[in-house]
Chains A and B, each alone.
Chain A
Amino acid sequence: MDAPFLDIKGLDKSFGGLRAINNVHIHMAQKEVLGLIGPNGAGKTTLIRLIMGILRPDTGSVRFRGKEVVGRKTWTIVNMGIASTFQNMRPFRRLPIIANVMVSCQCPRAMKRGEWVKKIEAKAMDALEFAGISDMALEDASTLSQGDLKRLEVARAIATEPDLLLLDEPFGGLSPAETDLMAKSIKRLHKGGRFGRLHSEGPAMIIVEHKLQQLMKIVDRIVVLDFGTIIADGPPEEVVKNEKVIEAYLGQGGV
C-alpha cells in the first residue's frame, strides 16, 4: 500500500509564551481539497509556514508521501511537490510579471518535469495565461492591483507543478467578480489537464480562507482551527453547523 499522501502528526509551535499550533493532526488523501478556516490568529498561516519549512516546528512530524518534511529546506520541499502562496503577497516588485513566474519555472522540479519545454518564457507565459494575467506580462509587478497580485502568487506557485498546493487566502481582498474567477481557476486546476505547456495532475490543495460561501463550493472537507487546536473536522455542511465553530467565530452566546 502506498504511504499516506500528507500526514501531519502532533505538530507543535510556540512563539515565546504563545502556543500558535497545539498538537495538530491532519490526514489528507491524494487529490483532496481541504479548507482550513478559523478566526484571526488561530494559526492557519503558521501551519502553512510550518509545512513549507519557513518555520520549524517544536515537535511533531509532517510526512508527504511517506517522506519527512520537517527539517528540510524550503526549496527541497518545493521540489518534493509542495507549493504555496503568501497571504500578504510577496511579488518581486521591480521585476516584470513574466520574470516573476520565470523564477519558479527555473526550479529543478519544473525543469525536470517539463522535459519537452525548452523555453521557460513560454512556460511562464502559460502559467500567467492560466491565472488570467497574461495580458500584463511585461508590466512591473509593482503596478498590479491586489487581485492581480493574488493571481500572480497562484501563477508562481503552479509553475513549480506541485502535487500539493497550499493557498493562503486566495480570495483575500478580491471583489466578488474576481473571487468567482479565482474560484473557477482553482476548480479548473484541481480537475487537472494540460494548460499549454503547463501540466497539472490535479494537485491536492489546502485552502486557507475567510469567505466561507466561496470556500464551501470548492472544498471536500473543512478543518477548523482555534488557538492552534483543531476544533472541528468534516464535510462543509457539518462543520458550519458545529456549535464549537459558531462559538469560536461569534463568541459565547452568539448566533
Chain B
Amino acid sequence: MDLIIFYFRKLFTILKKEVLVLPSRVVVILFFLFVLLLPVLPVIGNDPYMLRIFTLTCIYAIFAASWDLLSGYTGQMNFGHALFFGVGAYSAALLNHHIHIPPWGSIPIGALVAVLAGLIIGIPCLRLKGTYLALTTLAFPIILIGIVFAFPDQLGGELGISGIERIARSKVISYYIIAIIMLGLCTIMWAITDSKLGIILHAIREDEIAVRTAGINTTRYKLLAFSLSGFFAGVAGGLYAHYMRIAGPSTLEVSLSFQVVIWSIFGGIVSIYGPIGAVFVLFPLLELLRFWEQGRTLMFACIIILILLYMPDGLFPWLRDKIEKECPRCKKRNFWRRKTCRICTAELD
C-alpha cells in the first residue's frame, strides 16, 4: 500500500514539475485524454457517424506522421506515399480474404510487405533528389493501380477486395484499438525523431554530402527511413482495410498522396505532432463543411490557403511559438508569461 502511495506521489511530482510547466505538454496530455475518452464524450461519442470519422482520423494521423518521418525529417520528398498505404491495405486484405489470417496477423504482415515496397522504391530512388525524387515516387502508386486493374480476378480490379474481417465486433472497441495503436505508433515516431537516429535523418535532409564526409553510410540510413515510413504507413493501410472492410484502388489514388502532403504542410512539417494535429483538425473539418455540399472543398482550400499565408511554417509550430518562448541561454522552452527561465533562471525577453 505504501509503495502504491509512493508511486502515486512520484507520478504527481512528475506531473507537476515536468508536464504542467509547459503548455505544449499539457496540450499533448489533453489530446491523449480526448482521444481516449472520445466515445464517452456527450455530443460526439453517442453518434456512430462521428465515431467513424474519428476512427478514420486516427488512421490518417498515423499515415500523415509517417510521411513526415520520410519527407519532413529525412527530406526525401515522397509524392506517392499512398503506395505504402495501398500496399499495406491490399496485403492485409489478401491475407485475410484468401488465407483467413485474423487482423492481428494480417496488419503487421501487410506492414512488412509495405516495408518491402519501401525498399523496392527506395533503392532506385537513392540517387534522386528534390523534384526528381518527388516525380519518380509519384509514379509508383499509379503503376500499382495499373497492376490492380490488370488482374481483376486476384486483386479485385476497380471494385477492390471486399468482405474482410472486422477488427472488432463493436464500433467502440474498433475505435479503441485503432486509437491506442495510433497513440503508440505516433509516440514511437516522435521518439525516433528525438533520438540520435533522428539527428542523422535530419542532417541528411540538410546536406547529404556533408553527412557522408562525417562517415555515415547515407544509403543505409535513407533506406532505413524508407522502410520505417513504409512500415507505419502500411499499418495505417492495414487498419483502414480492416475497418472499412474493403481494400480498393482508392487507397492508391494520387489524391490520397497529395492529401497527406497538404495535411503535413498545414500542420507543420519536421515536427511529427504537426501532421497528427492537422489531420485531427482538417479531416473532421471537411465533414463539418457538409452543410454546403457543393462548395465544401472550395471552403476547405480557402481555409488552408489563409492559414498557410499567415503561418508559413504550419499551424502547430506557430501556435507553439505563441504559447511558449525559448530561453536564450539554455534553449529550454518556457511558458510565455514567465519572466525568467524555469531551468537556468536567465531573463526571458
Alpha-carbon distance A183/B300, docked complex (angstroms): 59
Residues of A near B330 (CB, < 8 A) are: 138
Do B215 and A107 touch (CB < 8 A)?
yes
* With known contacts A92-B206, A93-B206, A120–B213 Cβ distance under 8 A: no
Do B214 and A73 touch (CB < 8 A)?
no
Describe B's contact surface by its main secondary structure: helix
Do B206 and A95 touch (CB < 8 A)?
yes
Considering only residues 173-202 of chain A, those with a C-beta below 8 Å from chain B are none
Of A93, A94, A106, most B-chain CB atoms within 10 Å: A106
CB distance from B223 to the nearest CB of A (A): 14
Considering only residues 248-266 of chain B, those with a C-beta below 8 Å from chain A are none
Do A92 and B196 touch (CB < 8 A)?
no
Task: Say if the beta carbon of A108 comes within 8 Å of chain B.
Answer: yes
Q: Which of B203, B206, B213 is close to A78, meaning CB atoms less than 8 Å apart? A: B213
* With known contacts A90-B209, A96-B331, A160–B214 Cβ distance under 8 A: yes
Q: What are 17 A-B pairs at a CB distance below 8 A?
A: A74-B209, A74-B212, A75-B216, A75-B218, A78-B214, A79-B215, A86-B210, A90-B207, A90-B209, A91-B206, A92-B210, A94-B202, A102-B199, A106-B199, A106-B216, A107-B214, A107-B215
Q: Which residue of A lies closest to B209 (CB)?
A: A54
Task: Say if the beta carbon of A61 comes within 8 Å of chain B.
Answer: no
Q: Which residue of A lies closest to B329 (CB)?
A: A138
Alpha-carbon distance A79/B196, docked complex (angstroms): 19
CB distance from B333 to the nearest CB of A (A): 12
Task: Say if the beta carbon of B170 comes within 8 Å of chain A.
Answer: no
Alpha-carbon distance A156/B217, docked complex (angstroms): 16
CB distance from B329 to the nearest CB of A (A): 8
Do B209 and A103 touch (CB < 8 A)?
no
CB distance from A79 to the nearest CB of B (A): 5
Do A103 and B217 touch (CB < 8 A)?
no
Q: Which residue of B lies closest to A54 (CB)?
A: B209
Alpha-carbon distance A157/B206, docked complex (angstroms): 17
Q: Which residue of B lies closest to A100 (CB)?
A: B203
CB distance from A197 to the nearest CB of B (A): 16
Alpha-carbon distance A94/B217, docked complex (angstroms): 21
Do A78 and B215 touch (CB < 8 A)?
yes
Q: Which residue of A lies closest to B206 (CB)?
A: A92
Task: Say if the beta carbon of B211 comes within 8 Å of chain A.
Answer: yes
Q: Which residue of B lies closest to A85 (CB)?
A: B213
Do B202 and A73 touch (CB < 8 A)?
no
Residues of A near B218 (CB, < 8 A) are: 75
Instruction: Say which size band chain B's interface belongs to.
Output: 20 to 34
Other 5 A-B pairs with CB < 8 A, given A86-B210, A103-B211, A104-B215: A52-B213, A100-B203, A103-B216, A138-B331, A139-B331
Task: Say if the beta carbon of A110 comes within 8 Å of chain B.
Answer: yes
Do A84 and B206 touch (CB < 8 A)?
no
Residues of B near A160 (CB, < 8 A) are: 214-215
User: Interface residues of A, CB < 8 Å — how many?
Assistant: 34
Task: Say if the beta carbon of A109 comes within 8 Å of chain B.
Answer: yes
Task: Say if the beta carbon of A50 comes within 8 Å of chain B.
Answer: no
Do A90 and B210 touch (CB < 8 A)?
yes
Q: Which residue of B lies closest to A78 (CB)?
A: B215
Residues of B near A74 (CB, < 8 A) are: 209, 212-213
Task: Say if the beta carbon of A99 comes within 8 Å of chain B.
Answer: yes
Task: Say if the beta carbon of B225 comes within 8 Å of chain A.
Answer: no
Task: Say if the beta carbon of A20 comes within 8 Å of chain B.
Answer: no
CB distance from A149 to the nearest CB of B (A): 12
Task: Say if the beta carbon of A206 comes within 8 Å of chain B.
Answer: no
Residues of B near A154 (CB, < 8 A) are: none
CB distance from A180 to the nearest CB of B (A): 26
Alpha-carbon distance A70/B196, docked complex (angstroms): 30
Alpha-carbon distance A86/B270, docked complex (angstroms): 26
Task: Say if the beta carbon of A83 comes within 8 Å of chain B.
Answer: yes
Alpha-carbon distance A99/B216, docked complex (angstroms): 14
Considering only residues 11-57 of chain A, those with a C-beta below 8 Å from chain B are 52, 54
Do A106 and B196 touch (CB < 8 A)?
yes
CB distance from A156 to the nearest CB of B (A): 6
Residues of B near A102 (CB, < 8 A) are: 196, 199
Residues of B near A54 (CB, < 8 A) are: 209, 212-213
* With known contacts A94-B202, A95-B206, A120-B196, A103–B214 Cβ distance under 8 A: yes
CB distance from B269 to the nearest CB of A (A): 12
Do A94 and B206 touch (CB < 8 A)?
yes
Task: Say if the beta carbon of B94 comes within 8 Å of chain A.
Answer: no
CB distance from B1 to the nearest CB of A (A): 38
Residues of A near B145 (CB, < 8 A) are: none
Q: Which residue of A lies closest to B220 (CB)?
A: A75
Alpha-carbon distance A138/B217, docked complex (angstroms): 26
Residues of A near B202 (CB, < 8 A) are: 92, 94-95, 99
Q: Which of B196, B199, B212 is close to A75, meaning CB atoms less than 8 Å apart? A: B212
Alpha-carbon distance A93/B75, docked complex (angstroms): 14
Residues of B near A73 (CB, < 8 A) are: 212, 217, 219
CB distance from B219 to the nearest CB of A (A): 8
Alpha-carbon distance A157/B209, docked complex (angstroms): 13
Task: Say if the beta carbon of B200 comes within 8 Å of chain A.
Answer: yes
Considering only residues 135-169 of chain A, those with a C-beta below 8 Å from chain B are 138-139, 156-157, 159-160
Residues of A near B196 (CB, < 8 A) are: 102, 106, 120
CB distance from B26 to the nearest CB of A (A): 24
CB distance from B48 to the nearest CB of A (A): 44
